[in-house]
Amino acid sequence: MTVTITVEREVEVEIEYTPACRGARDSCGGVRGAGPPLEPDTPESWEFVKATLDGKEIELTRSEIKEAEQQAREEGEE
């Protein structure tokens, strides 16, 4: 017989943070970067890289990944 139980364990999750970046701007009146945008601005992003448990890489569900990314955002704001 096989049974499945849930045991809470601490999982280490690696999240990659990319800060927001202002896109390139044209010059205006001789002032470099003061004109209209040449490229769109890039918003900041928090992206899941991997999760490990006891040194072994494991898979997480989408909801677990979203939860980890949200926690990273909250901790990054502190």
**pLDDT tens string 55-71:** 899 998 999 888 888 88
Structural domain for 65, as ranges: 12-77
Structure tokens given for 20: 């927001």
Total number of domains in the chain = 1
> pLDDT per residue over 22-42, tens digit each?
998 888 888 888 888 899 999
> pTM of the entire structure?
0.64
Measured distance CA(71)–CA(78) in Å, rounded: 11
Structure tokens given for 41: 């601005």
Contact 63, 38 (CB under 8 A): no
Q: Can you spell out the DSSP letters for 4-63?
A: --------EEEEEEE--BPPPB--BTTBTT-SSBSS--B--EEEEEEEEETTEEE---HH
pLDDT band at 1 (very low <50, low <70, confident <90, very high): low
In a domain, 5, yes or no: no
Residue 5 has pLDDT above 60, yes or no: no
In a domain, 6, yes or no: no
Measured distance CA(56)–CA(11) in Å, rounded: 10
In a domain, 2, yes or no: no
